[in-house]
């Protein structure tokens, strides 16, 4: 299932068009995006639950979303 802008906004909230394009380009599903978002926002809780570290598209999304957060901080 290909993600749409609406899927992305539903998970991340308002985001720039560039980020939408980059997320769609990963080929990830909305479920994978939601998992990546959860890792970014509560990685300690997920590790405490015994979840494996993100891999594949989820890991790519974590990197992409983390980079976007770093740019907003500067």
Q: What is the pLDDT of residues 28-74, one digit of tens each?
A: 999 999 999 988 887 565 556 666 778 899 999 999 998 866 555 44
**Domain interval for residue 11:** 5-73
pLDDT at 11: 96
Three-state secondary structure of the chain: CCCCHHHHHHHHCCCCHHHHHHHHHCCCCHHHHHHHHHHHHHHHHHHHCCCCCCCHHHHHHHHHHHHHHHHHHC
Instruction: For the full predicted model, state whether its pTM sits above 0.85.
Output: no
pLDDT at 45: 57
Domain total of the chain: 1
Residue 14: pLDDT band (50, 70, 90) is very high
pLDDT at 69: 60
Is 80 exceeded by the pLDDT of residue 1? no
């Amino acid at each position: 299932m290909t993600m749409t802008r609406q899927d992305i906004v539903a998970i991340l909230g308002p985001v720039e068009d560039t980020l939408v394009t980059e997320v769609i380009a990963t080929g990830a599903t909305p479920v994978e995006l939601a998992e990546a978002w959860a890792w970014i926002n509560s990685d300690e809780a997920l590790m405490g639950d015994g979840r494996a570290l993100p891999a594949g598209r989820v890991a790519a999304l974590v990197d992409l979303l983390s980079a976007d957060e770093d740019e907003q901080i500067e």
